[in-house]
């Protein structure tokens, strides 16, 4: 028997993508939660016209990490066994949702994390250089600090067992929350498996927003989150 699964999409200003992504997601699964993180571009109006989905709304933009935490809390509260997170910008293929869940079961894993770099083919288009460089550097630091063998620290396409999420205390609201999650997951001795997913960039100029659009400041932010997470777990 397949576990009861929730598909969760963190959304911020995705009016150009949300309908197409949701149409495809709903063709593969029934339990769908959209976390609208304070969108102000018409996304909320589009969501209000839809049926067959649950919506959690942040009145103001709180951040990518905050949207994921809301999704995790929803999955735990409603007693789903698995939650799959998928971004709403067209970079992830909903047809692979079932494969992530199957990989979770086959490997008796607690987290199956999509990796855009686990399998590189000749026709794979390279990501924006600055994003790739930062991902490589942070992934390497994670691996060194936690004795992991990750290839992609930041892919948002993941499957989690909710019983594992209950062991984590996540607080980082921004894009660095996955680093906090990785540290706590390792400290909790969760079983982590990577699964190859395609590397798709539809908008190479996509903004992180604010100071994080500066590559050096974004790198410093990630390093601070990692250092703080390591320090916090070492004192528990």
Q: What is the pLDDT of residues 42-100, one digit of tens each?
A: 999 999 999 999 999 999 999 999 999 999 999 999 999 999 999 988 788 999 999 99
Dig out the tokens for 121 from the structure.
């083919």
Q: How many helices (H) and strands (E) does the chain have?
A: 8, 7
What CA–CA distance (Å, rounded) separates 149 from 193?
Answer: 9
Q: Spell out the CATH class of 5-234.
A: alpha beta
3-state SS assignment for residue 142: helix
Question: Rounded to 5 degrees, what angle do the CA atoms 167, 9, 41 make?
Answer: 135
> What pLDDT score does 1 carry?
47
pLDDT digits (tens, 9 = 90+) for 125-172: 556 677 788 999 999 999 999 999 999 999 999 999 999 999 999 999
Domains of the chain, residue spans: 5-234
Q: What is the pTM of this model?
A: 0.91
Q: Quick: pLDDT tens for 172-221.
A: 999 999 999 999 999 999 999 999 998 765 554 555 666 677 888 999 99
Residue with the larger pLDDT of the pair 37 and 118: 37
Q: Name the strand (E) or helix (H) holding 75.
A: helix 64-77
* Percent helix / strand / coil, the chain, rounded to 5: 40, 15, 45
Distance CA 32, CA 141 (A): 34
- Higher-pLDDT residue of 234 and 124 is 234
Q: Report residue 122's pLDDT band, with 50, 70 and 90 as the boundaries.
A: low
Nearest to 175 by CA among 149, 145, 211: 211
The pLDDT, as a whole number, for residue 209 is 67
């Amino acid at each position: 028997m397949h576990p009861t699964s929730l598909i969760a999409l963190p959304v911020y200003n995705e009016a150009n993508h949300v309908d197409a992504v949701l149409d495809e997601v709903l063709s593969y699964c029934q339990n769908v939660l959209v976390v609208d993180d304070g969108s102000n571009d018409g996304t909320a109006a589009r969501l209000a016209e839809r049926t067959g989905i649950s919506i959690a709304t942040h009145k103001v933009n709180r951040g990518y990490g905050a949207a994921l935490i809301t999704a995790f809390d929803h999955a735990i509260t409603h007693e789903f066994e698995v939650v799959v997170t998928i971004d709403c910008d067209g970079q992830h293929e909903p047809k692979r949702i079932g494969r992530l869940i199957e990989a979770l079961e086959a490997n008796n894993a607690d987290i199956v994390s999509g990796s855009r770099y686990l399998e590189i083919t000749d026709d794979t288009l390279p990501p924006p250089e600055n994003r790739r460089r930062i991902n490589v550097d942070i992934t390497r630091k994670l691996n060194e600090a936690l004795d992991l063998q990750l290839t992609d620290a930041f892919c948002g396409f993941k499957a989690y067992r909710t019983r594992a999420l209950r062991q984590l205390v996540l607080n980082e609201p921004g894009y660095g929350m996955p680093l906090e999650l990785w540290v706590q997951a390792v400290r909790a001795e969760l079983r982590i498996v990577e699964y190859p997913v395609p590397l798709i960039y539809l908008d190479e100029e996509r903004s992180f927003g604010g100071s994080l659009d500066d590559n050096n400041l974004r790198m410093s932010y990630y390093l601070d989150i990692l250092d703080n997470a390591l320090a916090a777990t070492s004192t528990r």
